[in-house]
A and B are shown apart, each in its own frame.
Chain A
């Protein structure tokens, strides 16, 4: 280890005096082999439908979809955008922006759409 790295105490030491079980004992091969459950799986495993729907739980308190009219703003400039390009599905505010929209390469089009989560995802 370089001297300045040690001085700055950048790295977490492997042995901690206040721990009863050290990390290297718990995870002998470095990273743990256990695949931690993602949030979706945790929620699934909770089985909230078995419990009283009146009781607040993680899924209950989520907000419903918005009731307000959808705000349409131009993807590129941020102004109000009443128009949508049928070919690329990008929203644009006026004719100048439209010229720009049509001249964008496909990669940029997808990235602009990805801002709105409207991109075509090929999985």
Chain B
């Protein structure tokens, strides 16, 4: 994950006096907490919990945030998926919120009887007063916090970047978040909620869309597409196309640019490449070192050889040479050269070294040496046999490859003709198989009344068995009536050899045909999108709907191709109708927002559009700036100034802005205390708004 959680327990909690506020960015995706005045939040984790059951003790425990999945094997996680305290962008599950706050304060290093610091916590725009009230209650009652302030994260981000000069005091803040997207106009540095608008689409929907599309495209990989992996993929590969229709057309006509844009398991391949090249380098270095040693050894005098050798660590010259050959062999292997030379070398070396006794004639050896010789002969023959078998296999492979290559060429030359040929072949094979089956099962019926050796269960015998019976009965009858002297001569027993041979033939035949059928079937499945394998209608298997695939597993089975999905999924931010949410997209929301302000002040509107500011996790998609600008230009009168800027760090800027705000001396006046909360009641809480310019 490009974004990593930080959950180490902080140790300097006691360093901060009671007046230092704690700043919390309570987002639907991540929870960030830290001290006011700092630039980085201390603790960051995903805003989810899980409540699995421990396998051995049986108690239900709480796990907050995303943790190492390897450790979760001690827990039974079947009944407990990850749960969030949010519904949309509003907190509604305060029990979960309590667990999360527990964890957060604990990791911040909290000790003591209560949290004795004022708290600044973020909420959504126009948070319902119920949610706000329950949150305040939770903080005051359970944690003993002295005072609380609520703020909107987009506004904090805007103020922070305003200090940096990225946006002006009049502007628009666009915040595509995790579950919702907001557009908030700022006038004189204060957000005007009257003109804000919200669409219920966000990063979560983009990831979910990508996950569903990939699962449907690769149903056999469905179990491996976890939400976190897809989010990784999304962050790495997705982008926003400047014009969706044009990009789609690029892919549709299959142009080269489209191929450049598809990502095809590239990461895996690159990693494998890197590993291989590093190993090759290593081996080469080793090889050079050894060769150098040998050279030196050759130059050194005879007497000094032992001392020289002891320095290098090798016992004798042969050892160096053998390591050298080994290293060069493995280098060759790593570079991908044929292993056949290796085998030859080995064989030659073996036959000369390992079997010295074979060539010595028998009468010169003692009994022990004779035994040794027999063993060596045995070993030699077995290794030779193995090598012969290997050779045959290699030849078969080559033959098969040649055939498939010819096949491919044929296919590429004339795909239609090839397809037709394949189809006719398939039909023929199907018919043959069916015929054979029919013979096996119904042949008995047809000849049931004939004299098949007086066998009562004529229907069940197949052709082979009937043949066997026929042979036996003819043998018995041919010998003439009278005594039964069937086995007197040895040649009589040759009859059984005939029979078993017949039997084998019969069983081999259909196997071959069936193998051929399976091959043709799989080939057709690969190349013909409209091909559906005819199910074998045997009465003994009424339940199986698919014949088992005997297709060899190719590398394509482990690749996931991301072509159109790369820009199709983020497109839903601009057209939520693509996922069924009938609301305005981001560019249209800007128009809606300006309309809602209804200032009728042209100058103000121009000022707003000339300082459009983007924050939030989803604004990290490449290409979103240009797309947004093009979209807004469609809505505004010709020639009006439009400038779109992204926050310096869209993910953490909200927390930073809140931290800067809380460090201000005037912050205390904006927060409300416990006494305020209980005296003034709900109405006052509804009206409570933070003033962002201090």
Which residues of A approach B to under 8 Å, CB–CB?
Answer: 1-2, 4-5, 8-13, 16-21, 23, 26-27, 30-32, 36-39, 42-43, 45-46, 54-58, 60-68, 70-71, 73, 77-80, 93, 96, 99-100, 103, 108, 111-112, 114-118
Contact check, B93 vs A36: say whether CB atoms are below 8 A apart: yes
Contact check, B126 vs A56: say whether CB atoms are below 8 A apart: yes
Complex formed: what's the CA distance from A2 to B568 in Å? 45
What is the distance, in angstroms, from B218's C-beta to the closest C-beta of chain A?
Answer: 12
| With known contacts A66-B585, A66-B588, A117-B581, A38–B102 Cβ distance under 8 A | no
What is the distance, in angstroms, from B446's C-beta to the closest C-beta of chain A?
Answer: 39
Contact check, A63 vs B199: say whether CB atoms are below 8 A apart: yes
Complex formed: what's the CA distance from A116 to B248 in Å? 19
Contact check, B197 vs A62: say whether CB atoms are below 8 A apart: yes
CB contacts (< 8 Å) of B583 on chain A: these are 62-66
The list of the 7 closest CB pairs from A to B, nearest first, reads A117-B580, A78-B564, A56-B193, A39-B87, A12-B62, A63-B584, A78-B568
Contact check, A42 vs B143: say whether CB atoms are below 8 A apart: no
What sequence of 0s and 1s flags, for each residue 51-95 of chain B, a beta carbon within 8 Å of any chain A beta carbon?
000100100111110011001101000000000000110101111
Which has the most chain B C-beta neighbours within 10 Å: A20, A32, A37, A63?
A: A63
Complex formed: what's the CA distance from A57 to B197 in Å? 11
Total A-B contacts with CB atoms under 8 angstroms apart = 186
Q: Which of B57, B64, B144, B565 is within 8 Å of A12, CB to CB? A: B64
Q: Is B141 an interface residue (CB 8 A)?
A: yes
Contact check, B67 vs A10: say whether CB atoms are below 8 A apart: yes
Contact check, A80 vs B245: say whether CB atoms are below 8 A apart: yes
Which has the most chain B C-beta neighbours within 10 Å: A54, A68, A78, A103?
A: A78
Pull 20 A–B residue pairs with CB atoms less than 8 Å apart, ordered by A: A11-B63, A12-B64, A17-B110, A20-B113, A20-B142, A23-B102, A26-B98, A31-B95, A36-B92, A46-B129, A54-B194, A56-B193, A64-B584, A64-B592, A70-B577, A73-B568, A73-B578, A78-B251, A96-B529, A115-B579
Complex formed: what's the CA distance from A93 to B141 in Å? 59
Contact check, B576 vs A23: say whether CB atoms are below 8 A apart: no
Complex formed: what's the CA distance from A116 to B579 in Å? 4
Which residue of B is nearest A7, CB measured? B71
Complex formed: what's the CA distance from A64 to B183 in Å? 13
Contact check, A80 vs B193: say whether CB atoms are below 8 A apart: no
Complex formed: what's the CA distance from A23 to B568 in Å? 45
What is the distance, in angstroms, from B230's C-beta to the closest C-beta of chain A?
Answer: 14
Q: Which of B160-168, B208-216, B330-338, B503-511 contacts A (4 or more CB under 8 A)?
A: B208-216
Complex formed: what's the CA distance from A61 to B196 in Å? 6
CB contacts (< 8 Å) of B93 on chain A: these are 36
CB contacts (< 8 Å) of A77 on chain B: these are 252, 564
| With known contacts A36-B94, A42-B130, A43-B128, A67–B530 Cβ distance under 8 A | no
Contact check, B87 vs A38: say whether CB atoms are below 8 A apart: yes
Complex formed: what's the CA distance from A7 to B305 in Å? 56
Q: Is B114 an interface residue (CB 8 A)?
A: yes
Which residue of A is nearest B563, CB measured? A78
Contact check, B63 vs A66: say whether CB atoms are below 8 A apart: no
CB contacts (< 8 Å) of B131 on chain A: these are 42
Q: Is B249 an interface residue (CB 8 A)?
A: yes
Q: Is B442 an interface residue (CB 8 A)?
A: no
What sequence of 0s and 1s flags, for each residue 482-501 of chain B, a beta carbon within 8 Å of any chain A beta carbon?
00000000000000000000
Main secondary structure of the interface of A (DSSP, over half): loop
What is the distance, in angstroms, from A101's C-beta to the closest C-beta of chain B?
Answer: 11
Contact check, B196 vs A56: say whether CB atoms are below 8 A apart: yes
Contact check, A18 vs B143: say whether CB atoms are below 8 A apart: yes
Contact check, A42 vs B90: say whether CB atoms are below 8 A apart: yes
What is the distance, in angstroms, from A19's C-beta to the closest C-beta of chain B?
Answer: 6
Q: Which of B112, B580, B584 is within 8 Å of A67, CB to CB? A: B584
| With known contacts A27-B95, A56-B193, A63–B580 Cβ distance under 8 A | no
Which residue of A is nearest B87, CB measured? A39
Contact check, A16 vs B579: say whether CB atoms are below 8 A apart: no
| With known contacts A39-B87, A42-B131, A63-B584, A18–B568 Cβ distance under 8 A | no
Complex formed: what's the CA distance from A16 to B100 in Å? 12
CB contacts (< 8 Å) of B589 on chain A: these are 63
Which residue of B is nearest A118, CB measured? B580
Contact check, A56 vs B194: say whether CB atoms are below 8 A apart: yes
Q: Is B358 an interface residue (CB 8 A)?
A: no
CB contacts (< 8 Å) of A116 on chain B: these are 578-580
CB contacts (< 8 Å) of B532 on chain A: these are 103
Q: Which of A30, A46, A65, A100 is within 8 Å of B582, CB to CB? A: A65
Contact check, A66 vs B193: say whether CB atoms are below 8 A apart: no
Q: Is B105 an interface residue (CB 8 A)?
A: yes
Q: Is B259 an interface residue (CB 8 A)?
A: no
| With known contacts A23-B98, A78-B564, A39–B90 Cβ distance under 8 A | yes
Contact check, B114 vs A58: say whether CB atoms are below 8 A apart: no
Q: Which of A9, A30, A66 is within 8 Å of B60, CB to CB? A: A30
- Chain B residues 438-473 with CB under 8 Å of chain A are none
Which residue of A is nearest B140, CB measured? A20
Contact check, B90 vs A58: say whether CB atoms are below 8 A apart: yes
Q: Which of B61, B106, B196, B248 is within 8 Å of A73, CB to CB? A: B248
CB contacts (< 8 Å) of B194 on chain A: these are 54-56
Q: Which of A32, A67, A112 is within 8 Å of B95, CB to CB? A: A32
Q: Is B30 an interface residue (CB 8 A)?
A: no
Contact check, B88 vs A16: say whether CB atoms are below 8 A apart: no
Contact check, A63 vs B92: say whether CB atoms are below 8 A apart: no
Q: Is B290 an interface residue (CB 8 A)?
A: no
CB contacts (< 8 Å) of A61 on chain B: these are 125-126, 193, 196-198
Contact check, B68 vs A8: say whether CB atoms are below 8 A apart: yes
CB contacts (< 8 Å) of B244 on chain A: these are 71, 73
CB contacts (< 8 Å) of B115 on chain A: these are 18
| With known contacts A37-B92, A45-B130, A66-B588, A19–B568 Cβ distance under 8 A | no
CB contacts (< 8 Å) of A46 on chain B: these are 128-130
What is the distance, in angstroms, from B178's C-beta to the closest C-beta of chain A?
Answer: 15
Q: Is B328 an interface residue (CB 8 A)?
A: no
Which residue of A is nearest B589, CB measured? A63
What is the distance, in angstroms, from A119's C-beta to the closest C-beta of chain B?
Answer: 9
Complex formed: what's the CA distance from A93 to B114 in Å? 63
Which residue of B is nearest A27, CB measured? B95
CB contacts (< 8 Å) of A114 on chain B: these are 212
Q: Is B127 an interface residue (CB 8 A)?
A: yes
Contact check, A42 vs B71: say whether CB atoms are below 8 A apart: no
Which residue of B is nearest A104, CB measured? B216
What is the distance, in angstroms, from A110's C-beta to the closest C-beta of chain B?
Answer: 11
Q: Is B575 an interface residue (CB 8 A)?
A: yes
